[in-house]
């Protein structure tokens, strides 16, 4: 409960800080609370980035930022629309089940190695981390700084709790935007139900993640674009982009349709770039490509990820069938789409030609479609669609809800919503029922061993492992999925792996048993597959056998002591 | 034929080793293949330790339930997670955490009430193994042997314990040795397995030595033995 309370306090504090970025007029708009929240998060990211760069990112710093930000809440006061609390209550009820994840152990791989793992590492090191040894630390870290602030003064659940509150804020904003931009509360409610009954969205709410906060930024951007508020638009776009670059596609669609003409659009774009650029400049200062780790790796060249690995295929016919397959063949427990959506996310868009000429719909449709197309080109996991999902849900709801003007049609529509939710929620029950068994026993034993045996000042090389958040020791090289950071390190230091790990400051290595399957990478040539996947893993085993001391071994992990040899 | 001859090179003191394909399925639990109750326990295709191999005849049988290690009394200080506990008639030896990230060897005699440190101090004192009255372990790289019935103690100067435990059968001991190029196995009766690639995880049963090479279980018999 402390984590949940701290997450709420962080949201209130962020609103307190962010409202000072709004003009007096903007502070009186119905969505001022949301723009203030977004602005606060962006501000924290920039302040935390500077603090991290000069090495003062600590629990004390986190407490000071949260406390001072909270003081900013009282004057001047924001307009809080009278119905907002009711909307927030509905949103909270819709995603209440996500609290099971908040109170349970960390379950998501991403939250363990990135969204919680990285902030915990930054707190241990009192500063930013980055470069090839911490590639995820070289991304823009707006959201991770917010997680760092709450983790500094609270328990681990504070990060997923903050995310749950941000999810609640997102859903509240969805309801509110339906009312504000389409004139009907039912539009927002309809969209909110579609989202909350999509397993992909619902499961994400209780995990520390980045997709829903990105969606929040995108919703703020479209609200600002339609209302012609350039400053808020730039802040919102910068927030979304500095949480996740995949926001770029829907933001581009919003930007194309933004009110105010090209001069305003150029100003907004410039403002956005200025607010995201500190993260790029930081990379340049550290001799990295501004967009590292997504590109710009030192030799040997490796693909950071393989979009072809995911989804339903890349041939033309695959794209034709993609909408059907992503709705009806996706399952949360298979790697093809790794999720499940309410069918109305796309089906409600079918009558789109009827409203295309209506200017009110134009930015929503353009942004939704560009977001959808960009998602289909990238890795086709459904959670990567979350940033555009509220746009799609609201656009669809705005199209179909007004069509149901007769009682019989209303019955059909709300019946479809209910029936579709049975499809959309597939896999949710299993996820939430299994939550308390989440961490594997062998991982728990590994964590126990590391905490009992490894010295407080140990620095662990996490090789093929994503258990970063579980182990309370300084670390390098944690990785997931394709394990690009670990494979790159091994390929770059072929023949002197143990020495290179020691040179990088590692005193110990945690090695997860890894088995790259040829069938997972059919688009990679056999020689390249051997050279870049199987051989580095084998060479690591050989190097550790010859040059390190095995301290612990479980069915899934080994722990080595790395001792410099004379 | 479950057993297929394997081409060997460079063996000084062993007849050509053979691959025990019947016992070479990878195990989920890295403690297997292992010796227990005079039988070699290996894994089936589900990676569970259900395969039993007679170490002399190499006859194979399978059990329905996977092998599990015998329980031991509650030990304080607690043994390190997943570390072996050596049980003898005279007592129990186990590994607990040392003062840094090193390990100390503890002993609880059958007739004594309180556990004592059998071998502590800097470096790792670990990998306890037992055969009859003999207890052996790795002490900062060297092998220490103690006859718990007679009190006789010996040390074998070497540098092992970096990967798997040594093996003991009566007074016969074998252990892993790092050479310039790879890992070999040495025994205290001059039985040596030195082949290209790594030979690890020795299990000695009389004149026969089992070991792992390229994820396969191999068997070698000392040259000239019946």
Query: What whole-number percentage of chain B has pLDDT above 70?
Result: 92
Tell me the count of A-B CB pairs closer than 8 A.
Answer: 49
Tell me the C-alpha distance between B67 and B42, whole Å: 9
Spell out which residues of chain B touch residue A555, defining contact as CB-CB under 8 Å: 28-30
- Select the more confidently predicted residue: A109 or B42: B42
Q: How many residues does chain B have?
A: 226
Tell me the C-alpha distance between A167 and A209, whole Å: 10
Tell me the C-alpha distance between B19 and B42, whole Å: 13
Nearest CA in chain B to A549: B162
Separation in Å, CA of A562 to nearest CA in chain B:
11
Least confident of A73-82, A487-496, B16-25, B124-133: A73-82
Rg (CA), chain B: 18
Q: Span A522-535, mean pLDDT? A: 92
Tell me the C-alpha distance between A22 and A88, whole Å: 22
Query: What whole-number percentage of chain A has pLDDT above 90?
Result: 81
Q: Span A467-496, mean pLDDT? A: 92
Q: For residue B5, what pLDDT is reported?
A: 37
ipTM for the complex shown: 0.91
* CB-based contact, A553 to chain B, within 8 Å: yes
Query: Residues 6 or more apart from A350 whose CB is under 8 A from it?
Result: none
pLDDT at A514 over 50: yes
pLDDT at B6 over 70: no
pLDDT at B13 over 70: no
Q: CB of B117 within 8 A of CB of B104?
A: yes
Q: For residue A440, what pLDDT is reported?
A: 64
Tell me the C-alpha distance between A525 and A530, whole Å: 9
B57-81 pLDDT per residue, tens:
989 999 999 999 888 888 999 999 8
**Is B82 in Cβ contact with A553 (below 8 Å)?**
yes
pLDDT at A502 over 50: yes
Which token pair is A236?
Answer: 């919102």
Q: Which residues of A252-262 are buried (b: 16+ CB within 10 A; e: fewer)?
A: bbbbebbeeee
Q: CB of B144 within 8 A of CB of B137?
A: yes
B97-111 pLDDT per residue, tens:
988 789 999 999 998
Q: CB of B158 within 8 A of CB of B166?
A: no
pLDDT band at B8 (very low <50, low <70, confident <90, very high): very low
Q: How many CA atoms lie within 13 A of B179 on its CB side?
A: 16
Please identify which residue in the block is written with the tokens 């982009």.
A241
Residue of A440, A451, A453 to mutate when probing chain B, most B C-beta within 10 A: A453
Provide the 3-class DSSP secondary structure of residue A233.
Answer: helix
Tell me the C-alpha distance between A353 and A355, whole Å: 5
Which token pair is B114?
Answer: 């309180």
Least confident of A1-10, A440-449, B30-39: A440-449
**Is B183 in Cβ contact with A546 (below 8 Å)?**
yes
Q: Which of B30, B101, B161 sits opposite A455 (nearest CB)?
A: B101
Q: CB of A302 within 8 A of CB of A524?
A: no
Q: CB of A181 within 8 A of CB of A226?
A: yes
Q: Which of A202, A274, A192 is closest to A231 using CA atoms?
A: A274
Tell me the C-alpha distance between A333 and A162, whole Å: 26
């Amino acid at each position: 409960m402390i984590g949940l309370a701290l997450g709420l306090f962080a949201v209130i504090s962020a609103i307190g800080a962010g409202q000072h970025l709004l003009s007096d007029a903007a502070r009186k708009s119905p969505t001022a609370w949301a723009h203030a929240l977004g602005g606060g998060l962006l501000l924290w990211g920039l302040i935390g980035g500077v603090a991290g760069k000069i090495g003062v990112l600590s629990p004390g710093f986190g407490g000071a930022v949260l406390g001072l930000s909270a003081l900013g809440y009282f004057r001047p006061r924001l307009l809080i629309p009278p119905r907002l609390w009711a909307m927030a209550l509905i949103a909270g009820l819709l995603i209440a089940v996500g609290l099971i994840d908040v109170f349970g152990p960390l379950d998501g791989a991403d939250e363990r190695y990135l969204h919680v793992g990285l902030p915990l590492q930054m707190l241990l090191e009192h500063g930013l981390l980055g470069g090839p040894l911490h590639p995820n630390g070289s991304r823009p870290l707006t959201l991770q700084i917010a997680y760092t602030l709450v983790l500094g003064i609270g328990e681990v659940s504070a990060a997923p709790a903050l995310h749950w509150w941000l999810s609640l804020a997102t859903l509240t904003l969805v309801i509110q935007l339906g009312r504000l931009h389409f004139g009907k509360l039912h539009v927002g409610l309809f969209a909110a139900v579609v989202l909350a009954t999509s397993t992909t969205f619902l499961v994400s709410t209780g995990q520390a993640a980045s997709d829903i906060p990105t969606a929040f930024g995108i919703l703020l951007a479209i609200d600002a674009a339609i209302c012609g508020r350039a400053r808020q638009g730039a802040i919102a776009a910068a927030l979304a982009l500095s949480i996740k670059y995949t926001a770029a596609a829907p933001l581009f669609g919003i930007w194309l349709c933004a009110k105010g003409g090209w001069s305003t659009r150029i100003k907004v774009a410039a403002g956005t770039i200025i607010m995201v650029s500190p993260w790029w400049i930081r990379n340049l200062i550290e001799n990295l490509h501004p967009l590292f780790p997504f590109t710009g790796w030192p030799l040997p060249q490796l693909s950071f990820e393989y979009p072809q690995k995911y989804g339903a295929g890349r041939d033309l016919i695959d794209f034709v069938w993609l909408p059907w397959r992503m709705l009806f063949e996706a399952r949360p427990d298979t790697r093809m789409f790794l999720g499940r959506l309410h069918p109305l996310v796309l089906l409600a868009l079918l009558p789109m030609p009827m409203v295309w000429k209506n200017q009110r719909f134009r930015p929503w449709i353009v942004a939704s479609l560009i977001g959808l197309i960009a998602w289909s080109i990238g890795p086709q996991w459904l959670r990567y669609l979350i940033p555009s999902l509220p746009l799609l849900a609201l656009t669809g709801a705005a199209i179909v809800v007004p069509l149901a003007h007769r009682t019989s049609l209303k019955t059909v529509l709300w019946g479809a919503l209910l029936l579709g939710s049975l499809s959309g929620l597939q896999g949710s029950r299993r996820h939430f029922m299994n939550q308390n068994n989440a961490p594997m026993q062998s991982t728990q034993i590994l964590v126990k061993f590391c905490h009992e045996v490894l010295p407080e000042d140990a620095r662990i090389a996490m090789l093929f492992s994503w258990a970063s958040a579980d182990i309370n020791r300084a670390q390098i090289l944690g990785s997931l999925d394709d394990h690009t950071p670990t494979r790159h390190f091994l390929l770059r230091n072929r023949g002197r792996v143990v020495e290179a790990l020691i040179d990088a400051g590692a005193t110990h290595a945690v090695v997860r048993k890894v088995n790259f399957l040829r069938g997972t990478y059919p688009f990679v040539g056999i020689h390249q597959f051997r050279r870049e996947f199987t051989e580095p893993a084998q060479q690591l085993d050989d190097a550790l056998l010859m040059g390190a001391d095995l301290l612990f071994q479980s069915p899934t992990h080994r722990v080595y002591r790395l001792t410099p040899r004379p | 034929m479950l057993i297929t001859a394997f081409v060997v090179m460079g063996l000084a003191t062993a007849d050509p080793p053979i691959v025990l394909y019947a016992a070479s399925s990878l195990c989920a639990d890295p403690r297997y293949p292992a010796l227990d109750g005079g039988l070699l326990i290996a894994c089936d295709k589900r990676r569970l330790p259900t395969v039993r191999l007679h170490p002399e005849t190499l006859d194979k049988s399978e059990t329905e339930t996977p092998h599990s290690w015998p329980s031991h009394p509650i030990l304080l200080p607690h043994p390190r997670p997943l570390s072996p506990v050596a049980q003898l008639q005279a007592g129990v030896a186990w590994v607990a955490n040392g003062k840094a990230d090193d390990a100390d060897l503890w002993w609880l005699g059958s007739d004594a009430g309180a556990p004592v440190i059998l071998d502590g101090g800097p470096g790792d004192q670990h990998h306890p193994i037992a055969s009859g009255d003999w207890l052996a372990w790795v002490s900062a790289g060297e092998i220490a042997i103690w006859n718990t019935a007679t009190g006789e103690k010996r040390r074998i100067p070497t540098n092992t314990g970096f990967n798997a435990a040594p093996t003991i059968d009566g007074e016969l001991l074998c252990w892993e040795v790092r050479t310039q190029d790879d890992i070999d196995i040495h025994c205290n009766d001059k039985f040596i397995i030195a082949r290209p690639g790594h030979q690890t995880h020795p299990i000695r049963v009389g004149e026969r030595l089992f070991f792992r090479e390229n994820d396969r279980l191999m068997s070698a018999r000392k040259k000239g033995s019946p």
